[in-house]
């Protein structure tokens, strides 16, 4: 074992770990991004400084969103004015709301309760107050 061996161990170990990190992240992201076919669509519209939700049957909610536990939902998110970001921290769901563009994110709530919906992109004076309530029912 010459002096170069420690360098090869160093290079080999770090390269192996970084390859594993890349592969693991790619697999996880692919799995998470796949939207289930049976997911119900909810149209989310952001504007300064509140959220509007439209269910598949046409009913609309402002500042509140009622969902059922154990069911998958696909959110089609857009904005009427500036760029916002639709974020539900508890369910690790976040996607930009961009004017003229529909971005999609999904999740299936598994816990009953009330959760925070917030804007995660600075969008003006009342950005910090741009919140809504997610109510997950059994």
Partner 1 sequence: MIIFDRIFKYGIKVKSLGVALVTSARLLSLVLAPLLVASLIPILDSAFAQEADQFVNRRIEIWALFYRLMTAAFIVGAVVQGVMLFIAVRFREGKVKQREVAR
Give the binding site for partner 1 (CB under 8 A): 1, 3, 5-6, 8-10, 12-14, 16-18, 20-21, 24-25, 28, 31-32, 34, 36, 70, 72, 90-93, 106-108, 110
Q: Which is nearer to partner 1, 7 or 64 (by Cβ)?
A: 7
Sequence length of the chain is 138
Beta strands at 50-54 and 103-107: parallel, antiparallel or unpaired: unpaired
Q: Which is nearer to partner 1, 25 or 128 (by Cβ)?
A: 25
Q: In whole angstroms, how close is the CB of 13 to partner 1 at the nearest point?
A: 5
Helix (H, G, I), strand (E, B) or coil at 31: helix
Q: In whole angstroms, how close is the CB of 86 to partner 1 at the nearest point?
A: 14
Q: Which is nearer to partner 1, 25 or 129 (by Cβ)?
A: 25
Q: Which is nearer to partner 1, 36 or 124 (by Cβ)?
A: 36
Q: In whole angstroms, how close is the CB of 50 to partner 1 at the nearest point?
A: 25
Q: In whole angstroms, how close is the CB of 124 to partner 1 at the nearest point?
A: 29
Give 80's Cβ-side CA count (13 Å radius).
Answer: 10
Task: Report residue 124 as tokens.
Answer: 């003006």
Q: How many CB atoms lie within 10 A of CB 68?
A: 13
Give 135's contacts (C-beta < 8 A, 6+ positions apart). Answer: 64, 65, 66, 67, 113, 114, 115
């Amino acid at each position: 074992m010459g002096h170069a061996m420690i360098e090869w161990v160093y290079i080999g170990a770090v390269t192996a770990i970084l390859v594993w990190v890349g592969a693991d992240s790619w697999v996880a992201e692919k799995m998470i991004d796949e939207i289930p076919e049976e997911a119900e669509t909810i149209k989310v519209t952001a504007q300064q400084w509140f959220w509007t939700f439209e269910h598949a049957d046409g009913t609309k909610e402002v500042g509140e969103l009622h969902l059922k536990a154990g069911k998958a939902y696909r959110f089609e998110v857009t904005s009427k004015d500036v760029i916002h970001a639709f974020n539900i921290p508890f369910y690790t769901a976040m996607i930009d709301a961009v004017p003229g563009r529909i971005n999609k994110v999904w999740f299936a709530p598994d816990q009953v309760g009330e959760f925070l919906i917030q804007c995660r992109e600075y969008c003006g004076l009342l950005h910090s107050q741009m919140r809504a309530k997610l109510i997950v029912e059994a």
